[in-house]
Amino acid sequence: MPTVIQPSDQEVPLSARLKAVLDGDFADARDAARQFIARPAMAPVAPDTPKEEYREKTLGWIKDMIAAGFTRMPYDPAYGGTGEREKYMNIVEVIAHQDMSLAVKQGVQFGLFGMSIESLGTEKHHAKYLPDVMSGKLLGGFAMTEVSGGSDVQGISTEAIYDHKTRSFTLTTPNEGARKAYIGNAAKHGEMMVVFAQLKMGESGENMGVHAFMVPIRDKDGKTKPGVTIDDCGHKVGLNGIDNGYLAFDKVTVPYEAMLDRFAQIDDAGTYQSEIKKKSQRFFKMIGTLVTGRVFVSMVALSGAKNALTTAVDHAENRKVFGETLMDKQATQSRLLPHLANTYALHFMTRHLMDEYGKGNEYLETMAAAVKAKSSDSAMKVVDEARMLAGGAGYMSEQRHGALRADMDVFRTFEGDNTVLRMLVAKNQLSRLSHKFKAATGVQKVTRIAALKMKSLFGRFNAESGKTDPAHFIDPAFQNKIFALRERSMIYALSSKLVKIAKAENADVAANKCQNDMIAYADAYAERLMMQKFIKAVNAQKDPEVKALLKDVCDLYAVQTMRQNGLWYVENGLMKPQTTTALRRLERHLTEKIRPHAKTLVAAFDIPPSVLTCIPAPAVPPAPPKQNGP
Amino acid sequence: MPTVIQPSDQEVPLSARLKAVLDGDFADARDAARQFIARPAMAPVAPDTPKEEYREKTLGWIKDMIAAGFTRMPYDPAYGGTGEREKYMNIVEVIAHQDMSLAVKQGVQFGLFGMSIESLGTEKHHAKYLPDVMSGKLLGGFAMTEVSGGSDVQGISTEAIYDHKTRSFTLTTPNEGARKAYIGNAAKHGEMMVVFAQLKMGESGENMGVHAFMVPIRDKDGKTKPGVTIDDCGHKVGLNGIDNGYLAFDKVTVPYEAMLDRFAQIDDAGTYQSEIKKKSQRFFKMIGTLVTGRVFVSMVALSGAKNALTTAVDHAENRKVFGETLMDKQATQSRLLPHLANTYALHFMTRHLMDEYGKGNEYLETMAAAVKAKSSDSAMKVVDEARMLAGGAGYMSEQRHGALRADMDVFRTFEGDNTVLRMLVAKNQLSRLSHKFKAATGVQKVTRIAALKMKSLFGRFNAESGKTDPAHFIDPAFQNKIFALRERSMIYALSSKLVKIAKAENADVAANKCQNDMIAYADAYAERLMMQKFIKAVNAQKDPEVKALLKDVCDLYAVQTMRQNGLWYVENGLMKPQTTTALRRLERHLTEKIRPHAKTLVAAFDIPPSVLTCIPAPAVPPAPPKQNGP
């Protein structure tokens, strides 16, 4: 295990000191994970590996993770875990550099499956299942999404009918659209699923809402259980190391104990009990587990972006075009370095999400949703840009750009579609805001309060709107202020618009007519958080060289984001046209300033070179020579 | 063959009348191509088809195209062709809906290979090769790009040394970086290549610049020719139906007749002759053939975008989310319909490129470069958006989104990297502009003239900068004017900036410091052309219903483009903040106005449904049941 580098140690190279900052408290664990993925057995798969072979390879890597002792980390020591969830997340973030299917498959097994049992189940479930989950003896998955349901998970159609006589539940898929869809570990490896279904009481027929049940789908010998139909999702755009499948249930009966009954129980008299009275509140409490998934996606998407940035900077520094180095070209710098700054911003943001984990931060769900959308979108753009920058070479599969893009594509969809998540962010924030308005539900009152709030925000800012001095834009106080101002004024404007349209038409029309504003708001919210956390990270540095470099990267994040939102600032009177022009100049200046450090900034990611490319599969035996031409 | 629909015939559905407009003069040929690709033999390949199998399948389709008589169309009747190049391009544009590998492989064989022989060779080459090229008896390719060279094609390193004693050329690859790279038809099917190399005169060693040579690389029986080394590029991000390869030459000797000698000859005395005196002028004349490739890419990229739009609109119209149709959501409309309008704009633009083909339009090279970059970038965004919109289902390979994105990715790189092409556009236009400045090469003079030109342009516009009336924005005269104003003022500003930096530092520094401006200019240039051609297309309509719908689509293109460039307009004083706010409102209004016609607009593309999805390959026999868990 390499010695932990102290950020203040001036003897070591800047990239190593920066790496220590990025690795934070988990430097040892992350280095162990780096050694783990650098082993020859973990060379990235050839891109044309048949999916059957890839699936088995991924399962083998899961077993390696188990053997390395990683997979006990997220669980309670009472059941054989080591209670180090944050450490485990850091390890997985590093493992994602090597293979996204592995990162996601472990997420299905140890996150979605195991964590559902831990957080939705009770002691009996923990004792019975958790040891086998972390040892891999019991492979499983998380069966929530349905074909027709999509993002509307509360509206799923799978039914679990409770029969008190036999004290059992009978699960049924009422129609084709109710089949569970895209379920990881379903097509091949999973033995048991956490199945989400509408719980209906047999006697009364009353629907108690969505509940989760432990449902065996296969025998130990791989035979599908009676009443269960499993279909393979087949080849996918990416992540072909995972065996996604469709599941249907035809009167599959499970005992009472199959219900994960932490938040609701059925007593011996057959009466449904729950401390949470409202059906939808119960539902949202239950799917709180999804927050983990969103933090996870935010992190592993960044891992992919870091691979792409490392490869792209390396390419640009070595490639000569028309006699010059590609990295020296203005266009290249503008294509790569703002993305690099943005990736750093997201890195510090995801550290914050993890820090807040388990502290009961009431904003965690909202933050995770906003950051997941931002991180996955951003990572896709980075990988795409790296592919293009590498020209023809980037189109060869031995560069991993194509595979990474295909794998990471789905990060924008699963664990919550990014568009739906952005609307969730806005809805959550609007709902918080409504507390501020208190009794002021009338249109006039809401719009008046919103107008007053905005006037007060803008008024304090007015004098600064025409400033074009670079020192002004890189002042952290200004940065925090203008990002917060944008976010807050957008939510006030949104609340005003919503109540106005709702009064003139109705609430549904209002919600629909504000979708684009809600989406824009969610990004402003994420950007404000990223700005705050980046500034905090810069301030925390002791090493002057590290601090100075991070400050420039932080400023490039700040300035590019302000420039991208320039029209909004101008339209809202918060910037003058000369201000946005000055921002563009400053963005260019900061890009040039960072350019000599491009190598250092990607070296700090410290990705084992062996996982940056993949060796093509051995060629198939050549076909017998044949006559050319038709 | 279906009857051609008259655009004025009110009996037929609007979508059919619109289709007739889009198909234009080639309705019959395009319908024939639709029938061709709708055959069961042309069902799109399963996404996990091994590349060896896919390559043979693609070759089979090429033979089908030959058998259907299509491939004679682009050639001179003197050699067995039918002289219908534009018709052929229309057919290929339709075929691209089915398979991008096929579209590109035909482009390698009948475009790059055949057309190079036609345009760079002389009668002896035409007679000897063209009949076999169009009949597929002789399969070949175009070997220009080298590993180290990339976009710097004039700087390639492959050498062809002329020996007058034997009246022959000896081709050599001097180093690894000089290997010909990513050459279609090289790895498997090609028998002969048009190889680009530096011609050196044996006696004097003088380098006469890049010339093209017909070089056999394989025997008829598939055996590689002595001195030639062929390596397979292996698996690629996409286009795996094409056998791309690397080529190296170790003293490969070809007779004098192998030189494609239309623009330069070596006479019987061994003296090099060319009517074009300057080496680089000769080079640019020779690679003029690449213009065809760029028009081709512009068109087939659009075909892919049309597939994605058809699938996405169909999905959005049928998918229910939270009880409503996805297409009725504001966010969905905003994600799809502006792209649809942009695709229409590009459609009419590519028609213009084809119309100008062969008419000697001096702007064709510049236009094709700008439109190729715009079309390929735009198509990638459309396909990506369609993938996301389809949610989890869009990530399954049976939807073709993933395959289309992977295939079309390279359209942004080959036939000229989009960044390099955009700089080429700016350079060409700057060079034209320099004629206007005539002798005014001094910095002060250039900047003064530029400033005057801009003042005059802006002055005339000043009174309109604050207008927010929708009628104003949808006035075609205004649309043409403001798009042209932006383009012209950007080129004047660019010329001013270039001379200023060149004086203060030097011309190379200036060129580098203006890259971002050059790239932005190229898009403004393309947007101005697209605006003009769309307005012209609307004006040409007789059918009032077709005309009204196209006018709305045209306006949506105009308004979204103005809004996207809003900050530029504001910074340059051409719009007030209230103007861009009004544009955003109008964009929304137009999107809503077009929404009921979404189905009609994609139905007009008339893509056979059988090519919109692909059926997965038959499952491999299931592996024997095995114990789950590690």
CATH, residue B587: 1.20.140.10
- Chain B closest CA to A331's CA: distance in Å? 6
Task: With CB atoms and an 8 Å threshold, state whether A512 touches B329.
Answer: yes
B415 is catalytic: yes
Q: Which of A67, A233, A567 sits opposite B580 (nearest CB)?
A: A567
- pLDDT tens for each residue of B590-625: 999 999 999 999 999 999 999 999 864 444 444 444
Sign of CA dihedral B484, B485, B490, B496: positive
**Does B3 reach chain A within 8 Å, measured CB to CB?**
no
Quote the CA–CA distance of B154 and B76 in Å, as a whole number: 29
**Does B1 reach chain A within 8 Å, measured CB to CB?**
no
Instruction: Give domain status of residue A227, yes or no.
Output: yes
Residues A232 and A355 in one domain: no
Residues A357 and A410 in one domain: yes
Pull the structure tokens for residue A560: 């590019």
A440 pLDDT band, cuts 50/70/90, is low
**Secondary structure class of A523 (helix, strand, coil):** helix
Give me Rg for the CA atoms of chain A: 26
User: Per the residue annotation, which of B146, B159, B365, B415 is the catalytic one?
Assistant: B415
Q: A276 vs A264, A271, A286, A407, CA distance in Å?
A: 8, 15, 11, 39
Chain B residue numbers with beta carbons less than 8 Å from the beta carbon of A108 are: none
Chain B's closest residue to A50, CA to CA, is B48
Residues A276 and A345 in one domain: no
Residues A104 and A230 in one domain: no
Task: With CB atoms and an 8 Å threshold, state whether A388 touches B235.
Answer: no
Instruction: Give domain status of residue A9, yes or no.
Output: no
Residues A112 and A178 in one domain: no
pLDDT of residue B617: 42
| Most confident range, picked from A201-205, B483-487, B612-616 | B483-487
Q: What is the DSSP string of A266-319?
A: E-TTS-EE-S--SHHHHHHHHGGGHHHHHHHHHHHHHHHHHHHHHHHHHHHHH-
Chain B residue numbers with beta carbons less than 8 Å from the beta carbon of A620 are: 50, 52
Quote the CA–CA distance of B241 and B58 in Å, as a whole number: 6
Q: Domain containing B129 — which CATH number?
A: 1.10.540.10
- Chain A closest CA to B64's CA: distance in Å? 10
Where b means 16+ CB within 10 Å and e means fewer, A118-133 reads bbbbeeebbeebbbbb
Task: With CB atoms and an 8 Å threshold, state whether A220 touches B616.
Answer: no
> The domain containing residue B216 runs over which residues?
140-275
pLDDT of residue B1: 39
Q: Domain containing B209 — which CATH number?
A: 2.40.110.10
- pLDDT tens for each residue of B173-227: 999 999 999 999 999 999 999 999 999 998 899 999 999 999 999 999 999 999 9
Give me Rg for the CA atoms of chain B: 26
Residues B201 and B220 in one domain: yes
Residue B554 has pLDDT above 90, yes or no: yes
Residues B244 and B260 in one domain: yes
**Which residues is A141 bridged to in the sheet?**
A193
Instruction: Give domain status of residue B629, yes or no.
Output: no
Interface test with B, best of A395, A399, A563 (most B CBs within 10 A): A395
Residue A256 has pLDDT above 60, yes or no: yes
The number of distinct structural domains making up chain A is 3
Quote the CA–CA distance of A275 and B71 in Å, as a whole number: 74
Structural contact between residues A329 and B512, judged by C-beta atoms closer than 8 angstroms: yes
Q: Which of A137, A232, A418 sits opposite B629 (nearest CB)?
A: A137
Residues B261 and B320 in one domain: no
Least trusted range by pLDDT, from A584-593, B33-42, B403-412, B428-437: B428-437
pLDDT of residue B627: 42
Interface test with A, best of B59, B72, B395, B512 (most A CBs within 10 A): B395
Q: Which of A442, A464, A437 has the alpha carbon at shortest distance from A453?
A: A437
- pLDDT tens for each residue of A350-398: 999 998 887 878 899 999 999 999 999 999 999 999 999 999 999 999 8
Residues B115 and B147 in one domain: no
Interface test with B, best of A407, A513, A628 (most B CBs within 10 A): A628
pLDDT of residue B8: 53
Q: What is the arithmetic mean of pLDDT over A94-120?
A: 97
Q: What is the arithmetic mean of pLDDT over B146-171?
A: 92
Task: With CB atoms and an 8 Å threshold, state whether B567 touches A566.
Answer: yes
Chain A residue numbers with beta carbons less than 8 Å from the beta carbon of B139 are: 628-629
pLDDT of residue B628: 41
Task: With CB atoms and an 8 Å threshold, state whether B625 touches A232.
Answer: no
Q: What is the arithmetic mean of pLDDT over A545-573?
A: 97
Residues A441 and A574 in one domain: yes
CA dihedral of residues A433, A437, A441, A447 (deg, nearest 10): -90
Chain B residue numbers with beta carbons less than 8 Å from the beta carbon of A137 are: 629-630
User: Per the residue annotation, which of A84, A118, A385, A415 is the catalytic one?
Assistant: A415
> How many residues would you count in chain B?
630
Residues A105 and A254 in one domain: no
Instruction: Give domain status of residue B611, yes or no.
Output: no
Q: Which of A236, A401, A629 sits opposite B138 (nearest CB)?
A: A629
Instruction: Give domain status of residue B269, yes or no.
Output: yes
Residue B4 has pLDDT above 70, yes or no: no
- Domain final position from A135, A166, A197: A135
- Chain B closest CA to A535's CA: distance in Å? 27
Instruction: Give domain status of residue B620, yes or no.
Output: no
**Does A150 reach chain B within 8 Å, measured CB to CB?**
yes
Residues of B (57-76) whose Cβ lies below 8 Å from A: 59, 62-63, 66
- Chain B closest CA to A627's CA: distance in Å? 5
Chain A's closest residue to B391, CA to CA, is A413
Interface test with B, best of A51, A182, A235 (most B CBs within 10 A): A235
Instruction: Give domain status of residue B628, yes or no.
Output: no
pLDDT of residue B457: 73
Q: A559 vs A582, A599, B163, CA distance in Å?
A: 10, 22, 61
Instruction: Give domain status of residue B616, yes or no.
Output: no
Chain A residue numbers with beta carbons less than 8 Å from the beta carbon of B182 are: 392, 395-396
- pLDDT tens for each residue of B265-322: 999 999 999 999 888 888 888 887 778 899 999 999 999 999 999 999 999 999 987 7
Quote the CA–CA distance of B374 and B594 in Å, as a whole number: 23
pLDDT of residue A624: 47
Chain B residue numbers with beta carbons less than 8 Å from the beta carbon of A580 are: 567, 570-571
**Does B412 reach chain A within 8 Å, measured CB to CB?**
yes
Chain B's closest residue to A149, CA to CA, is B321
- ipTM, interface predicted TM-score of the complex: 0.93
- pLDDT tens for each residue of B339-392: 999 999 999 999 999 988 878 788 999 999 999 999 999 999 999 999 999 999
Residues B160 and B65 in one domain: no
Task: With CB atoms and an 8 Å threshold, state whether A625 touches B221.
Answer: yes
- Chain A closest CA to B174's CA: distance in Å? 18
- Domain final position from B245, B275, B305: B275
Pull the structure tokens for residue A41: 């057995």
Output the average pLDDT for chain A.
Answer: 92
